[in-house]
Every structure is written in C-alpha cells, then in structure tokens.
Amino acid sequence: MPGRLTRYRKIIPDWEDFLTCSTRFLPVSVRVNTLRIAPEALAERLAQKGFHLTPIPWADDLFVVEGTKVAKTIEHWLGLFYIQEAVQTVPVRLLDPRPEERVLDLCAAPGGKCTQIAVRMENRGLLVANEPNGRRQPSLLASLNRFGALNASVTSYRGESFPLRVGFDRVLVDAPCSAEGTLRKERSLRGGAFTATIERLVQLQRRLILRGYDLLRPGGRLVYSTCTFAPEENEAIAAFLLGERDATIEPISLPFSSSPGIREWEGTIFPASITGCARIYPHQIDSGGGFVARFRKPS
C-alpha cells in the first residue's frame, strides 16, 4: 500500500488520514430489522449476551457492535438484524423508498440493500429484487426470507436487459465495481484496482445505469452507487447518463463528513452538477468507502 491508490492522492482529502484508516480494523455494524424489533429492544437483547452496542449518530437503526461472533446469535438467525457496513446503508437512505411504491433493486445480491428497502417500504408495495448470477441468488433469497420481506419478488434477468414493460417509482443500481472501498476488509485491494478491471466494469456500468433510468416512470428517482474510488466508475458514469438521457442530478446532503463529486479527472471535465454526487472515504465515516449519485426523471 498505497500502490495504484496513489492516483487518487489529489482528490482524497487528508490523504495521510485516509491511508492510516484504510489499514485499521473495520468496525462491525448492524442494521436493525424494524419490521421485527425496535432498535432499543435489540440492543438490550444483545447486551444481555455480552455485546456492547454503540448507536451510530446519523442513523437510528445502526449500531457498532463490540464482541465476537454476533453472527452466531439466535437474533441474527431470526433476522432481527443485518451485519452491514455503515457506508453501505447510505444508497437506500438516499433512494428513500416508500410504502405502496414499485421499487427495483437491479443488482440485488447478497441482499443487504434489498432487505433495507423492504423495511423502508414496511412490506407494502412491490419490491423487485433482480439478480442474474445463479450462484448469488441463494444468499439473496435467504436474506429476504430471514428478514420477512413479504413484498419482494426475485427475478434473474441480466440487469442491462431487464424488461421495460413496467415503470418503477424508484430504482437502485448498486453496480458491480472494482470494490476499492472495501480495502479495510479485503487486503488484496489495498494496492488499488487494476486498470483492466476498471475498464471492463465501466462498460457494464454504462449499460446498467441506462437500463435503470429507462425503467423509471416519469418523476421517478434513480440512485447509482459503487464501493470504489475510481472516477471512471463513478463521476464518469453519472456524466454518461446525463449525456445520454434527460436525467437531472438531485444534489446529495449527508449527515456526516463526505466529499462532493469531482469536476475533472485526467483531462476529462464533468458537468458542474456532478458536484452534487457524494464521495465517501473510510476516514470520514469510519467505515468503508463509496460513491453515490441520485437522479430524477422529468415528470
């Protein structure tokens, strides 16, 4: 480390803090399934088993857990909580799904964000969880069943070919990416992603964001997210959608420290509205890293 990550030195604030945090232990955080239990009740149950839970200030359903093997508890198997990095809960918070809506999670496995959507919808309306990879579908189905997501329907289309017959109120495109933001738990990524990997994924990300946008009803909202730092997979994809469709960016305001989308990368100038996207770095949130963009289709 830092290896290929050095190319981000000019865009990551507090570079030395970023490097230090990236090698630190990643806190274990859990998201409460409020369909089944109140946050305070879960904290009390786990405390009785020797776990210490600290609330995360900007989210009323998130705790940092101290203690070993929280995944082995009966509370976990009963679907009372989901073990999830705090940063990974941000895209669904920005999607803001509501009861009775039609919502699509285009790349749904293993199910963390999908179960979060079901909770936010209060099990009312239609949630379509799409996952084309047959090896990842069992984990998605297990997560939905464990959480009691009664309004979810699982499909297996290639995301870029999802049928256009139905319009959705909200679409989440949590795109396959080079995953550099997971470097605190994936040591192999502490040197950064390979250029060839990024270039291959960009082609898929472009197709996914276009199809996700085309699946929106007029006035609908799309959230595009990744867990990587690469502008090619982030701002460049957001700018690509703006150039291909009539999308507008909804500026993002987060309740914790983050960074705006960048305007320029290696000679490419992005539209000014790209600064309304959000970059999240590990040292800003004491979690993983990622990127989020939020779009609206004209009514």
Q: How confident is the model at residue 163 (pLDDT cuts 50, 70, 90)?
A: very high
pLDDT of residue 234: 98
Residue-averaged pLDDT of the chain = 97
Which part of the chain is CATH 3.40.50.150?
86-296
149 contacts 120 by C-beta, under 8 angstroms: no
Q: What percent of the chain has pLDDT over 70?
A: 100
How many CB atoms neighbour CB 81 within 10 A? 29
CATH 3.40.50.300 fits 28-83, yes or no: no
Residue 279 is classified by DSSP as E
Q: State how far the Cα of 20 lies from the Cα of 9, in Å rounded to an integer.
A: 14
pLDDT of residue 68: 74
pLDDT of residue 248: 98
Q: State how far the Cα of 222 lies from the Cα of 159, in Å rounded to an integer.
A: 14
pLDDT of residue 67: 79
Which is it for strands 290-296 and 248-249: parallel, antiparallel or unpaired? Answer: antiparallel
Residue 208 CA: distances (Å) to CA of 193, 201, 213, 225: 21, 11, 9, 11
Q: What angle do CA 214, 198, 27 make, to 5 degrees?
A: 95
pLDDT of residue 76: 97
pLDDT of residue 271: 98
* 103, amino acid identity: V
User: Any residues with CB less than 8 A from the CB of 243 and at least 6 apart, and which?
Assistant: none
Given a cut of 90, is residue 34 above it in pLDDT? Answer: yes
Given a cut of 80, is residue 1 above it in pLDDT? Answer: no
Strands (E), 23-114: 28-32, 52-55, 62-66, 81-83, 102-105
Given a cut of 90, is residue 2 above it in pLDDT? Answer: no
Which part of the chain is CATH 3.30.70.1170?
28-83
Q: Which residues are catalytic?
A: 227
Predicted model pTM: 0.97
Per the CATH hierarchy, to which homologous superfamily does domain 86-296 belong?
Answer: Vaccinia Virus protein VP39 (3.40.50.150)
